[in-house]
Structure 1
Amino acid sequence: MEDIHTQGIWMAESLQKRTMSQEKIWLVITHIGDPKAAFLLVFPFAYFFSKRAGVAVLWVAAISEWLNLVLKWMLFGERPFWWIGESRLFVNREPNVLQFSSTCETGPGSPSGHAMVTAAVWWVVVSTLGSFLYSRTHSVVLSAAPYLLYVVMLVAVGMSRIFILAHFPHQVIAGSITGFILGVVLSRRVPEGRPLLFFFSFSMGLLLGTLLLHAGLQQLGVDLSWSITLAKKWCSHAEWIRLDTAPFSSLTRDCGALLGLGLAQYWKPGGWSLPWAPRALSLAISSMGLYHVNRLPLPVQPQGLFYSLFFIKFVIVPQVVIVLVPGLVYLFTHKKKKD
């Protein structure tokens, strides 16, 4: 693996050297590819276009990010920003590379979570959009356009992760392929209309099962905090180490979102029926609401409190998009029509 890692470092150096003037663009792209964006940005857009697509996006995002966490624990992937120093292979010539505010993630590096979740979630979006365009236009060329954009997005997200030294190229490729497969498979079975017990059991099963796996690996002598130690050691700015990038943050986000999806479908089975204009209004209000929910400051100590509140935060997300905002929009627009 040393040769693969070394070539990855030189590739990152070359990419930074050639495209440093586009630094802001790369940082925007890496934020778009953040698994968190699937819950806070892609989900509401997809839901107000197609309820089934929205539920599928949330479902696929949660399962793919959870599986990514498990794979990272099993594969022990390095990250470029710490491997450069730990490998001690660059004594004669150190690579001329920079770190960024999004570089210092604390989980293992393989496979790339950004690439994996992006590939899975956006497959749901582009396949829905492609089918919609074909049903309206019967044009193969026009309906193929979303799939071309899908490939461009995966390449862009992957390159952004290499640019900021968060991943090696092979980790990005592995994440993209795995995410694509998950997107195809999971989007065929969307849990619409399932009872609340299904989502509660699934959410708690993932949470408790993962905690048991973590405890079991520790009992076997596997140090699952090794990546956190290295991230803190080699990150150039201590403030770039954030608890919301830790593995357990991903876990609580996924489990919270799944439970929230079940609650939302329990409160309002089938969702609210809205015409296109009220849907657009609901999307705008939901997006603003989720922006403020995401910005809510959480205490980082004790960590148990942080993770509990992080869980609740993502339980709220489906309530805002599926129940609260469209319900209010329906109430006001329905009254206006009656008047």
Structure 2
Amino acid sequence: MEAIYVQGIWVAEAFQSKTREYEDFWLFATHIGDPKAAFLIVFPLAFYVHRRTGVAVVWVAALSEWLNLVFKWILFGPRPYWWVDESRLFLKNKPQLQQFQCTCETGPGSPSGHAMITGAAWWVVASSLSSFLRSRTGSKLLAAVPFLVYSVLLAAVSLSRIFILAHFPHQVVAGILAGVMLGVLLNRTVPEWRSLVFFLCSSMALLLGALLMYTGLEQFGIDLSWSISLAKRWCSKSEWVRMDTAPFSSLTRDAGSLLGLGLAQFWKPGGWTLPWVPKTLCLALSSLALFHISQFPLPTVPPLLFYSLFFLRYAIVPQVVMVVVPGLVHLLTAKPKRD
């Protein structure tokens, strides 16, 4: 594997050098591919267009990110931004590499979570839109357009991860393959009308399953926090190492989102039937609310408090999108019944 890592470093250096003028585009692409974007951006957009697709995005994104965490714990993949110095193979001929604010993620590197979750969550959107176009127009050409856009988006996100030194090329390829397969498989089993108990059990299964695995590997002497110390050692700026990129942040986001999805469907089964104009207003209000929720600072000490609040943050997201905002818009726009 050492030869693959060395080659990956030189590929990243060449890619940074040749596409430096597109830095803003690559940073934007990596932001769009962030796993949290599936919950905060893709989910509300998909939900107000087609309810089943929105529910599917949360379901697929949560399970895909959880599996990505498990894969990372098993595969122990390094990240380029710290491996290049930690390996001590480039002391005489050090590559010219630049780190960015979004470079210093703390979890292991293989497979790429951005590529994997983007590949899975956006597959749901692309396949739903393709089916709609095919049914309305009967054109295979138009039905292929969403998958073309999907491919371009996935390629841009994947290349951005190499550009910012978050992943080696082979880790990105692995993320793409895993994400597409999970998108196809999980999109067939969306629990749109399942009970609150189902979602509660699913949420607890993700939490307990990961914690049991973590504890079990620790008992065998495997330190699963090894990548966090390396991130802190080799990141250009200490403030770029954030707790919301840690493995347990991904875990609490996924578990919280599934519980929130179950609660939202429990409070208002089937939701409200709204015309397109109120739906557009819902999307705008939801996006504004989710932006402020995601930007609200959380205390990082003690860690248990941070992870608990992080869990609650993402449990709130489906409530806002599926219950609070549509209910408010319905209340304000509903025509009064005549006697």
1:117-128 aligned at under 5 Å gives the runs 117-128=117-128
What is the distance in 2 between the residues matched to 1:102 and 1:276?
36
Write the mapping of 1:283-302 to structure 2, written as runs, cut at 5 A.
283-302=283-302
CA–CA distance in structure 2, aligned partners of residues 3 and 96 of structure 1: 19
Superposed displacement of residue 47, structure 1: 0.3
Q: Return the offset for 1:29.
A: 0.4
- Offset at residue 99 of structure 1 (A): 0.2
Q: Deviations over 1:19-45 (max 9, x none)?
A: 111111110100000000000000000
The match for 1:262 is 262
TM-score, normalised to structure 1, is 0.98
Q: Whole-Å Cα distance in 1 between the matches of residues 113 and 338 of structure 2?
A: 48
For residues 295 and 94 of structure 1, what CA distance do their matches in structure 2 show? 37
- Kindly provide the amino acid, as one letter, of the partner of residue 202 in structure 1: S
- Worse-superposed segment, 160-169 or 271-280: 271-280
Aligned to 2:201: 201
Q: Matched residues in 2 for 1:33 and 1:209: separation?
A: 26
Look up the SS of the partner of 1:228 in the other structure: helix
Aligned to 2:56: 56
Give the root-mean-square deviation of aligned CA atoms. Answer: 1.1
**Residue matched to 2:154:** 154
Distance of aligned partners of 1:336 and 1:13 in 2 relative to their CA distance in 1, 3 Å threshold: farther
Q: Do structure 1's residue 304 and structure 2's residue 319 form an aligned pair? A: no
C-alpha distance in 2 between matches for 1:164 and 1:232:
17
Question: Are positions 1:90 and 2:90 aligned together?
Answer: yes
Residue 229 of structure 2: aligned partner: 229
Trace 1:146-185 onto structure 2 (pairs within 5 A): 146-185=146-185
| Structure 1 SS opposite 2:335 | helix
Shift of 1:82: 0.6
Instruction: Percent identity, please.
Output: 65
2:131 paired residue number: 131
**How does the TM-score come out when normalised to structure 2?**
0.98
CA-CA distance at 1:73 after TM superposition: 0.1
**Equivalence for 2:188:** 188
Q: Which amino acid aligns with 1:225?
A: S
- Distance, in Å, in 2 between the alignment partners of 1:149 and 1:278 is 28
Matched with 1:10 is 10
* 1:335 CA displacement: 3.3
Could you tell me how far apart the structure 2 residues matched to 1:312 and 1:10 are? 42
Counterpart of 2:109 in structure 1 is: 109
After the TM superposition, which residues 322-333 of structure 1 pair with which residues of structure 2 at under 5 Å, given as runs? Answer: 322-333=322-333
Evaluate the alpha carbon distance shift between residue 141 and residue 338 of structure 1 in structure 2; reply closer, same or farther with a 3 A threshold.
Answer: farther
1:338 to partner: Cα distance: 6.7
Deviation at residue 92 of structure 1 after TM alignment = 2.0
Where has structure 1 moved over 4 Å in runs of 4 or more?
A: 336-339
CA shift at 1:143, angstroms?
Answer: 1.1
Change (3 A) 1:8 1:336: farther
Separation of aligned partners in 1, 2:185 and 2:177: 13
* Aligned residue number for residue 21 of structure 2: 21
Secondary structure in 1 matching 2:334 = helix
Aligned position for 1:253: 253
CA distance in 1, matches of 2:259, 2:332: 28
Determine helix, strand or coil for the equivalent of 1:89.
coil
Measured after TM superposition, the shift of residue 139 of structure 1 is 1.2
Structure 2 alignment gaps of length 5 or more: none
Instruction: Name the amino acid aligned to 2:213.
Output: L
Equivalent position amino acid for 2:142 in 1: L
**How far did residue 206 of structure 1 move?**
1.1
What's the counterpart of residue 145 of structure 1? 145
Matches within 5 A, 1:69-84: 69-84=69-84
**Which residue number corresponds to residue 68 of structure 1?**
68
Residue type of the alignment partner of 1:267: W
